[in-house]
Chain A
Amino acid sequence: MNNSGAFGDTLSGGERQMSDVWIEDRLEELVQNADTDEQKAFVRRLADNDGPNAIEITERGDEIQFDGVNQDEVRKELFAYQDGEQTGELASTGLRQADPREPTLDSVEIVKIGNIFDEI
């Protein structure tokens, strides 16, 4: 998932990282980008009422429409990691990363939705 500017400017309506709107935007983006059969199977699994039941979808032809997030089924946990060298400066190394294509402290965002990889 792309970064939405947790520590900087935001695009999606000013909603901060981990807000309900932010999570919905990220999962909607995931569904919209599900092009392959494997990706679509992953999305269907996310929506499985007998599984994670994390999102609501409808099928239109061969395509999957994202309808919303079941917020009660989504756990929010904050992860932090250090991607720079262990220089003693800790996170500041990652935060100083100037190349937007390189991972930085705030360029990894995780929405944890149980064990969604079962049976795929």
Chain B
Amino acid sequence: MTKSNLQSVVDSERQELLEGKDGIEKAVITRPHRGQTVAVGLLALGEVDAANEWFQALTEEWPIYANSKWDSKYESEPRSPASPGPWSDYIDGLCAALLARQGVENVATTVYERATDPFVDRLDKREFAHRIDLARSLSALVLGNGTVESHLESLEQHVDTHGSDWDRARYAAYAQVLRGLDAGDSSDVEAGIQGLLEFHRDHVASARDADAVQKAVALDATAMLALARREGMAITVDDELIPGAVNDDEYYPIEG
């Protein structure tokens, strides 16, 4: 994927979303997936300020979008199975907030509350919904509530028992990143991010239904690098699958 091709995809999607809409916030309503394509694509193209405007809008929209699904599926009996559910939308919301560098704790609070509601563990197909465990682990890490390890253990147990190669590749890398962040071990975090990059090369970049932006940017790895820097870990990861701006102190400063 050349830069001009990526630019073409981003321009086209942005134009379609904004057509007839009064601003980015309106453009992403009910269409956060498409808005995310624009935001991530702009970040990959180095248009960091423009990307940030879209990520900010997505930080608002993803939780609304996910909560609407959650209400529809789980607010009344009979409740839908755990998988598919709104869980990947909540995780995307956390990624958007991390890359927008705003509203991270608010989104994490919503995600943690919804993902840990007591009925969730009684849902049909719960053991196959690994994204629930990931949503819990990620939001717990952000909130610093001391429950990360227990959620990671559940994640690994479910993936070991019921996961596919796809699941094992992705979630083992996530667990390494989150354990490293929880323990303050930068070598584990870097190794986990490398694992997420390998997962992207093996399972996303070659997927025939991945769009140009999804192939060009390893979103899991990119968001985890942003999280690590937010958590005060002074690391950089130079890889063509991670937008360079995420390594730049001007845009993603190491906090703490």
- Interface SS of B by simple majority: helix
Please name all residues of chain A whose beta carbon is closer than 8 Å to the beta carbon of B72 when the two chains form the complex: 56, 58, 67-68
A14 is an interface residue with CB less than 8 A from chain B:
yes
Q: Is the CB of B73 within 8 A of A67?
A: yes
Q: Which of B31, B69, B209 contacts A12 (CB 8 A)?
A: B209
Q: Is the CB of A9 within 8 A of B68?
A: no
B231 is an interface residue with CB less than 8 A from chain A:
no
How many inter-chain contacts with C-beta < 8 Å in the A-B complex?
Answer: 84
A95 is an interface residue with CB less than 8 A from chain B:
no
A88 is an interface residue with CB less than 8 A from chain B:
no
Q: How far apart sit A29 and B37, CA to CA, in the bound complex (Å)?
A: 13
Q: Which of B16, B71, B73, B208 contacts A8 (CB 8 A)?
A: B208
Q: Is the CB of B68 within 8 A of A58?
A: yes
Cβ of A73 to closest chain B Cβ, rounded Å: 13
B158 is an interface residue with CB less than 8 A from chain A:
no
- Interface size class of chain B, counting residues whose CB lies under 8 Å from the partner chain: 20 to 34
Q: How far apart sit A25 and B68, CA to CA, in the bound complex (Å)?
A: 16
Please name all residues of chain B whose beta carbon is closer than 8 Å to the beta carbon of A4 when the two chains form the complex: 207-209
Q: Is the CB of A60 within 8 A of B206?
A: no
- Interface size class of chain A, counting residues whose CB lies under 8 Å from the partner chain: 20 to 34
Q: How far apart sit A102 and B101, CA to CA, in the bound complex (Å)?
A: 41
Name, among A4, A28, A56, A65, the residue most crowded by chain B CB atoms within 10 Å (CB to CB).
Answer: A65
Q: Which residues of A contact B (CB under 8 A)?
A: 2-5, 8-14, 20-21, 24-25, 28-29, 31-33, 35, 56, 58, 60-61, 63-69, 100, 107
Q: Which residues of B contact A (CB under 8 A)?
A: 16, 19, 26, 29-31, 33-34, 65, 68-69, 71-73, 80-81, 83-84, 88, 131, 164-167, 202-204, 206-210, 214
Contacts A8-B207, A9-B204, A58-B68 aside, 17 further interface pairs with beta carbons under 8 A come to A4-B208, A8-B206, A8-B208, A9-B202, A11-B214, A13-B166, A14-B165, A14-B167, A20-B81, A20-B83, A21-B83, A29-B33, A61-B26, A66-B69, A67-B71, A67-B73, A68-B80
Counting from the closest, the 3 A-B pairs by CB-CB distance are A14-B166, A67-B72, A11-B207
